[in-house]
Structure 1
Amino acid sequence: MMKVKVLKEPLLEFGNGTHICPRTGIETLGVYDKRDELRRSELRIGIVGRGEGVDLLDEWLDHCKRGIPSKVDNKFPNLFKGFGGISEHYGFFTRLLSSPQYTRTLQKSEINKIAKITSREDRVVKCVDLYYEQARFISENRSVDVIICVVPNDLFDSLTKSSGAEDTELVDRYMEHNFRRLLKARCMHLGIPLQLVREKTILSVKPSIDQQDLATKAWNFCTALYYKGNRTVPWRLVEDKFKPRTCYIGIGFYKSRDGETISTSLAQVFDEFGHGVILRGAPVSIDKNDRHPYMEEGQAHDLLHSALAEYENALMQKPARVVIHKSSRFRDTEIAGFSQVLDAKGIATRDFVSITSTDIRLFSAKEYPPARGTLLSLTEREGVLYTKGIVEFYKTYPGMYIPSPLRIEMFDSDSSLEDIAKEILGLTKMNWNNTQLDGRLPITLECANKVGDIMKYVDASQKPQVSFSFYM
C-alpha cells in the first residue's frame, strides 16, 4: 500500500554542536575540524589572471575577510544569510593569505592571440596551456594550498563562441564542458586543487537572474576554498552510534571524449566524516536493447574489490555494512559480482540502491511543491523521495523550477526503505561546493558524476587524484 511521510531534516555536526544548516552551523558553532588541535589556521592562495582580474579578486577577498551583509529587503533571513567574514577568530577560524609573490599575471597580448584563433576547440586548448603553465610555476615554486584562476570576460566570451557566432546551447556549457574540465584534468598531477572564477561574476553588485547575491556567493566560495585548501571537512553528518560502520559507494558512468567507450567512475565515502576516495573503473558493456551501460560480473567484482581495499587501507578495518548507490538499475551480473566480494570478506549487511529520475509528482491542495524529505512509498522496496522542495527552516521553496524527485529502488537490501531514504537525504548535505542545505543528489552520486566529467580528460596512463577537491 502506498503511503506518504515527511522525513526529518538530518542534523550536521560542527565544532561546538549540531544544526541542520551549514551556514548557521559554521557561523554559530564553528567548522567541525576546529576541534583538531593540529589543524592549520591559514590558507595560502595562488592566483592566475590578467591584471584587472587579479585586482578584482583581491577586492573580493577583502570583502570575504571583512564580511558581507545580507541582501536588502531580505524576506528570508535563514535562506539569504549575511556572511560574517573569514578570519582566524570566527566561523572558519582561518586566515586567507595572498601576495604578489604568489600571483602570476597573464599578458594581454597572449589573451588577444587566443581570442583571434578561428577554431573554438583550438582556443580552448591554447587557453588551457596558458593557465597550466602559470599554475605549474606556482605549484613548483611557491607553497600554496589552492590556486584561483580568474578568467577575463573577453577570454571567456571567446571560449563560448564558435566560428564568431553564438552556439545554440547555453554559453556556460562550453566553459563547463571544455575549458574548466580540461584545465582541471591537465593540472591534476600538480597536486594543488583549482578554483575557477570569472571576472564578470566577481563583485557583481546587481547579480543577473542566474547569479547569487554577494553574501551567498561568499558563503559558497569560502566554504569550497576552505575544503579544497585544508583537505578537511567544515561539517559532517551526526554519527549514528547504533548503526554498523558503513562504507558508502557511488557508481556512475561516463563516455570517453571520442564517444567510443563508456567507463565507470566511482566515488567512495568512508564514513560520516565525508572522507573518501576517487577511483577510475574500467570500460563497461552496453546493453544492445536499451543502450544503457552496465558491468559484467567480473567488472563489478574488481571495482568493489578495489574500493574496499582503499577503505581498509584508510581505516585499517573492514566495514560492517556496504551501501552502493548507482545511477541506473542494478543488473544480475552486477549484483553477482558485488555479492561475491562481500561474501568473501564476510560483510553480511548490504544495500544495493538505484537512484534515478522519475516522472511521478505529488500534488497537494494546500501547498506546492511538497516539503523536502517527502517520501512516497510505492512498495516495501521502491519509493519516491523529494530532496528538493519547501524547506521549513527557510520558510519557502528555495528553487526556481518545479522540483524533480528521486526514484529509489532497492536491490538485495537489508535496510528498510525509510532508513535508506533518510541516509540519502543526509548525504545530499555533504557537498562542500554548496552551503544551501537542500542538495538534490547524495554526495556519492554527485561526486561520481563530477568525477566522470573530468576523468574523461585524464590520460589513461595518469594516476588520478583521489580527493573530491580536485573535481569540484
Structure 2
Amino acid sequence: MTEQGTFEITRLEEPEIHFNGGSDVSPKRGLMEYGPRLKNNEHQAINVAAIGDAESIRLLDDLFLDWSTVIHPDLDDDKIRPWRIPFPGLNSRSNLNTSIAFPERWRYRILKGEIRSVQAHNTKEGKFQEFLSLVREEIDWLSDDDPTPDVIVVCIPDGIMEELRDGKHGDVIVGGKNLHSQIKIAGMENSIPTQLIKPETLNTTSPQDRATKAWNLSLGLLYKAQRGHPWKTKKMDHGTCYAGLSFYRDKDGDGNVVRAALAHVFARKDYNIIQSEPLKDISEDENGQPHVSKKGAENIAEQIVNYYKKRNRGSVPERIVIHKSSPFWDEEREGVQAGAEEVRLHDYVHIRTRGTGVRLFPDGDFPPLRGTLLSVPDDDVHYLYTTGYVPEVATYEGSNIPEPIEIRPDIQTESDYKTLCEEILFLTKLDWNTSDFAVKEPITLKVPRKVSNVISEQGIDPVEADKQYYYYM
C-alpha cells in the first residue's frame, strides 16, 4: 500500500464463454442450453477403454450407465436453480450431444493373481514398479488395436491403492515417482489420453457428488476424446499471444537441469505446451524463485513467436503477453524483447496466486464478489478476486475465505492494468477439466505448472513430449 493508503475498488464484468451456437457466463448453464462445441457439430461418441480389476470395471460400467440419464443434485428438489444445475445425461437426446461407448473387448481386467503378485513385493518400490508395468503393458496392447480407443480409463484397485498410498488421500508417490504422472506419460507415448480414477470416485452415493463428478469427469473425457475444447472465450483478440512460464528441474540425473514449460494460448486455438531446451545460468531470488539469463529468456521468446507463426501461416503476433509467478529481472525483460523483436506490443505481468496477505470484508453474509479489483495506483499493484461470490449464479463455490491474486504489471508493459486484469479473469474460465464456474489461476500459469509435474518425471525427453494438454490432465 502507499503511505497515504489510497486505493480504488471496482468490479470487472464477468466474461462470457461461447458454446455451440450461444454464449453464457456459466459453463454448466451454457452446456445445458447450447451444448458443447463439437467437431463438425455431430454427435460425439466417446470410445472408452478401461484397465482395472473386475470390481473396478463393474463399478465403472455402472457409473457410465448412471450418466446416461439426468442426475439432479438434490433428490428432494428437482428444480433447476442458478447454483444447482443438474447433469443432463450423456445420450443422443441430451443437449450435451455426447454418449459413452464402452465395449467389452476394451475392458482389460487385472487378475487377482496379478494383484497378489504386486502385493507380494517387500518394498513399495517393487509394488509400484510391477503395477506400473502391468498398466503400461495393457496400454501398449490397446494402442495396437484398430481402431484405438479415444481415452483409456485406469481404475486403481482398492488393494493396490492401500499398498501404495500413505493415508486416504493424495497422489501415489514412491521413490520420487508419481503414479499419476507415469501413467500419463505411458498414454502420451502411445498417443492415447488417459484418465485415472481412484476407488473413492467409483463409490459415490450422494446425489450432489454424483452430479458433480458426472459433470467434471464427462467434460474431461470429452475434451480428451475429441482433442478439442468444449467452449472458448469470446474475449480473446486476434493477434494477441498469451504465454505463461513455469520452471522445473529434471528428475533424471542430479536434478540440476532446469527447463521452462510454456502454456501458449492464442485466438481460435487450444492452448499448447512447449518445453524449452535446458536453461543455463539460472539464478534464484530471495524467495527461491528461478530467473533465467538474457540468453535463456531470448530463446524462450523465440520459441513462443515461432510457434505462433507456425500455427498462423507465418503471421507475427501483434502483441505478446507473458505471465510469470516471479518478477521480471532486467536480463529476462531484455532477453524477451530481443527474442520477440518482431512483435510490436509487449506486456509482462508478475502474478502471485497465494499468500498475498490482502482480504476484503464486505457487509453482509457473502464473501467478496468474483471480479472485484482492488488497485493501488501509486504502486501499480492490483488484487483481483478470481474466486468469490458469483451473483450471476447466486453462489460461492469455495469452502474457504477467498483470497485475491496479486497482479503487478512490469515497468515496460504497454497495456493498461485494467486490460491485463480483464484478460486474467477470462483466462480463469478456460480449464476444460472442470465444470466449476472458474478456477483461481489463469490457465497460463496453471497449465504449465501441472505439465511440469508430469514432464519432470524420470524417463521422458521433455523436448520430445507432446504439446497437447489433454495428455497431461
TM-score, with length taken from structure 2:
0.90
- The answer to whether the 8 A contact 2:257-2:279 is kept is yes
Q: For residues 75-94 of structure 1, what are the structure 2 equivalents within 5 Å?
A: 77-94=81-98
CA drift at 1:368: 4.4
Q: For residues 341-420 of structure 1, what are the structure 2 equivalents within 5 Å?
A: 341-343=339-341, 345=342, 347-356=343-352, 357=354, 358-379=356-377, 381-411=380-410, 412-420=412-420
- Alignment pair present for 1:328 and 2:329: no
Q: Per-residue displacement from partner, 1:420-453 (whole Å, max 9, x unpaired)?
A: 1111110101000111112101111110111101
Which residue number in structure 2 is paired with residue 114 of structure 1? 118
Which residue number in structure 1 is paired with residue 264 of structure 2? 268
CA drift at 1:204: 1.4
TM-score, with length taken from structure 1:
0.90
Alignment RMSD (CA, Å): 2.2
Q: Secondary structure at the match of 1:32?
A: coil
Q: For residues 222-371 of structure 1, what are the structure 2 equivalents within 5 Å?
A: 222-239=218-235, 243=237, 245-257=239-251, 259-271=255-267, 273-281=268-276, 282-283=278-279, 285-287=282-284, 289-316=286-313, 317-343=315-341, 345=342, 347-356=343-352, 357=354, 358-371=356-369
Distance 1:117 1:260, change over 3 A: farther
Output the CA distance in 2 between the equivalents of 1:171 and 1:32.
34
CA drift at 1:2: 1.2
Which amino acid is 2:311 matched to? A
Which residue number in structure 1 is paired with residue 439 of structure 2? 439
Output the CA distance in 1 between the equivalents of 2:92 and 2:305.
37
Which residue number in structure 1 is paired with residue 155 of structure 2? 150
Q: Secondary structure at the match of 1:387?
A: coil
Q: Per-residue displacement from partner, 1:319-378 (whole Å, max 9, x unpaired)?
A: 1111111121111111111111222x1x11121111113111112233442111111111
Q: Secondary structure at the match of 1:447?
A: helix
Q: Secondary structure at the match of 1:283?
A: coil
CA drift at 1:196: 0.7
CA drift at 1:117: 2.4
- Alignment pair present for 1:26 and 2:31: yes
Distance 1:25 1:254, change over 3 A: same
Distance 1:288 1:414, change over 3 A: closer
Q: Secondary structure at the match of 1:77?
A: coil
Q: Secondary structure at the match of 1:388?
A: coil
Q: Secondary structure at the match of 1:66?
A: coil
Q: For this pair of structures, how many residues does the alignment match?
A: 454
- Give the gaps of 5 or more residues in structure 2: 1-5
Which amino acid is 1:44 matched to? N
Output the CA distance in 2 between the equivalents of 1:301 and 1:112.
53
Q: 1:214 aligns with which of 210, 216, 223?
A: 210
Output the CA distance in 2 between the equivalents of 1:91 and 1:236.
17
Distance 1:40 1:319, change over 3 A: farther
Distance 1:440 1:461, change over 3 A: closer
Distance 1:389 1:82, change over 3 A: same
Output the CA distance in 1 between the equivalents of 2:205 and 2:423.
39
CA drift at 1:67: 2.7
State percent identity of aligned pairs: 28
Q: Per-residue displacement from partner, 1:368-407 (whole Å, max 9, x unpaired)?
A: 4211111111126320111111111332321111222111
- The answer to whether the 8 A contact 2:455-2:462 is kept is no
Distance 1:286 1:71, change over 3 A: farther
Q: Secondary structure at the match of 1:192?
A: coil
- The answer to whether the 8 A contact 1:252-1:452 is kept is yes
Output the CA distance in 2 between the equivalents of 1:91 and 1:124.
42
- The answer to whether the 8 A contact 2:262-2:448 is kept is yes
